[in-house]
Amino acid sequence: MNPQEVLDLAKSNEARQLDLRFSDIPGLQHHITYPIGQLSLDSFENGFGIDGSSIRGWAAINESDMLLIPDPATAFMDPFYEIPTLVMLGNVRDPLTRQSYERDPRWIAQKAEAYLQHSGIGDTAYFGAEAEFFIFDNIRFDQNAHSGFYFIDAEEGRWNSSREENNLGYRPRYKEGYFPVPPTDHYQDLRAEMVETMEQCGIVIECHHHEVATAGQCEIDQRFDTLVKSADNMMLYKYIVRNVAYENGKTATFMPKPLFGDNGSGMHTHQSIWKGGKPLFAGEGYAGLSQTALWYIGGLLKHARALSAIIAPTTNSYKRLVPGYEAPVNLAYSRRNRSAACRIPMYSASPKAKRVEFRPPDPSANPYLSFAAMLMAGLDGILNKIEPGEPLDKDIYDLSPEEMKTVPSMPASLDEALTCLEDDHEFLLKGEVFSEDLIETYIAYKRKNESDAVRLRPHPYEFSLYYDI
């Protein structure tokens, strides 16, 4: 869609407002709204001024003036606002130099795509991410100097099976929520509404279903797309999930591990590289992979511990990434073993379907930064011909302790992951895709506001463990 077509779209839908959206470094989307009369053809060149001083990880107050340049290719009509509103994503630029802002996550993703083309390896990177989420009925939490708690309730939660009033049963057992039909699956109609809203906004959906955990864990699978477009779609996906749930009196969360003792939510990310319309990951090697794909896997595995700070970027992420549970913490690859970090799906023999699924990411990640970082790790593997080692085709639970020692694993905490990123980030700097400033800012923000903040506060379970010590 070009600028004139955007103006025509606004007119045909009688849009009265313009909503411009952008992402901060941690991945929260922000917006600013203008009367539609403020939008003209010149707007796509001149942009709209905003104050970036209060955006997490962005400029100091003395350098806070920013421009939002609307991207016409991202235009759609918002499905939730009462006033007809045209939405576009904005690219952030410096008003003085007119250069793209180095801390704009979308710009980093755009640079990653450009670096792929410049490398000569391929011209297109396709990403398909499967973001899981929970639907709850009530959430309460607080933290202060003298108390701290959270309380989750969900009509579908197995713990409500003993409730006396208004109890009709039919709730998924813990770890048995995969694919039950209604009435055990309480959210078929709600997910269907989410899917129809996504399709209305231009996202192509392949399927939706209940996930493994009780209490409303769900998954809606989008069709793969190019890197930046997939990241754009993930931001829109999360927006639609939250708002459809909210309009139906529910609350949705992409927190990786909200429930103890049941499965957490991942964001398994399928990846492939193409050149001239041909898939580069199909070949005659292991699981039908090419040598290029094996080197890409080698890059992902080599840099996985550093990637973890970006693809599993919260302290809560490491409640999911725990050895011996459902999460893929083992830094190995396999054609079917879901405990391996890299899995090669075998559903289709078509070369076009050949891809690598990287399983450690979770949906708390900023999709622009995480997709870009994974691509950079894979490209580093190809450029340096990094071999991934032997595949892990055994059941992880059948391995002896001696064998397990030879399989490296993901970090055990956000703090450890940030240290790994400090020690290993040269691959991200190639082609000036990431900058040293961005990485330093990211690490400092995460340490101060998340890792240290959680570490300094008493945990409720510590009172059970230690109050009478």
Residue in 173, 170, 211 with CA at minimum distance from that of residue 191: 211
Question: How many Å apart are CA 33 and CA 138, to the nearest integer?
Answer: 30
User: What is the identity of the amino acid at 353?
Assistant: A
Residue tagged 């235009």 (tokens):
75
Question: 369 phi and psi, to 5 degrees?
Answer: -70, -40
CB under 8 Å to 364, separation ≥6 — which residues? 27, 254, 255, 256, 312, 313, 314, 316, 317
Name the β-bridge partners of 220: 208
Within 13 A of 455's CA, how many CA atoms are on the CB side?
12
**Given this model, what pLDDT does residue 311 score?**
98
Question: How many Å apart are CA 281 and CA 259, to the nearest integer?
Answer: 37
Torsion, CA 87, CA 32, CA 198, CA 236, rounded to 10: 120
| Active-site residue set | 51, 130, 132, 211, 219, 268, 338, 357, 359
**Given this model, what pLDDT does residue 62 score?**
52
Neighbours of 69 (CB within 10 A): 19
Torsion, CA 367, CA 372, CA 373, CA 379, rounded to 10: 150
Q: How far is CA 298 from the centre of its chain?
A: 22
Q: How far is CA 389 from the centre of its chain?
A: 27
User: What is the identity of the amino acid at 344?
Assistant: I
Distances (CA, A) of 338 to 220, 332, 335, 368: 19, 10, 9, 25
Handedness of CA 328, 330, 331, 335 (dihedral sign): negative
Question: How many Å apart are CA 62 and CA 52, to the nearest integer?
Answer: 10
Q: Which residues of the chain fall short of a pLDDT of 70?
A: 59-63, 324-326, 336, 338, 395-398
Residue tagged 């606004």 (tokens):
10
